[in-house]
Amino acid sequence: EKERNYHVFFQLIAAKDELKELNIGGPQDYRYLKDAQYKAPGVDDKRCFEELQEAFGSLGFQENDQTDIFKIVAGILSLGNCDFADENDASRLVEGGHSARAAELLGLSAPDLEKSMLVRSLTVGKDVTETGRTATQAAAARDALARLLY
């Protein structure tokens, strides 16, 4: 039986009509959600999203602050769709626009976000050595970044 975690993702998807500027897809469009249970029994994700907004409001979060938080949540979903392929001694992003979209939502430059997943930096003293990650390592870096952001 499929599990369902990270309810805020499903709440965001349920409210996608209110958040048109985020261009949110359905749960099947995201790696982190596609194998999950889309609808939890007895849970109204749209209503839960409204309750989340009310809670943010009661805590003093302005609407623009809430939108920024929702951008980060949507950015995590887009980040999870980044795919990698091995190429020589390193890896590369498989183009699909996901890294650019994630970077936009997260307020980062796409090259910096891509480098954070594809390149490992090792600092010894004042020397910095950069080495390319394999596709498996890049995917692990992507998932670690998504967890950290979450």
Locate 68 and state its tokens. 């920024």
Q: What is the pLDDT of residues 48-90, one digit of tens each?
A: 999 999 999 999 999 999 999 999 999 999 999 999 999 988 9
Position 5 confidence tier, pLDDT thresholds 50, 70, 90: confident
Q: What pLDDT is attached to residue 148?
A: 96
Distances (CA, A) of 6 to 56, 63, 109, 129: 18, 22, 26, 36
CA atoms of 21 and 12, how far apart (whole Å): 12
Cα separations in angstroms, 34 against 39, 46, 58, 88, 97: 12, 19, 33, 31, 18
pTM over 0.85: yes
pLDDT at residue 104 above 90? yes
SS3 82: coil
Average pLDDT (17-41) is 92
Residue 1 — pLDDT band, cuts 50, 70, 90? low
Report the amino acid identity of residue 150: Y
CB-CB contact of 52 with 69 (8 Å): no
Q: How confident is the model at residue 92 (pLDDT cuts 50, 70, 90)?
A: very high
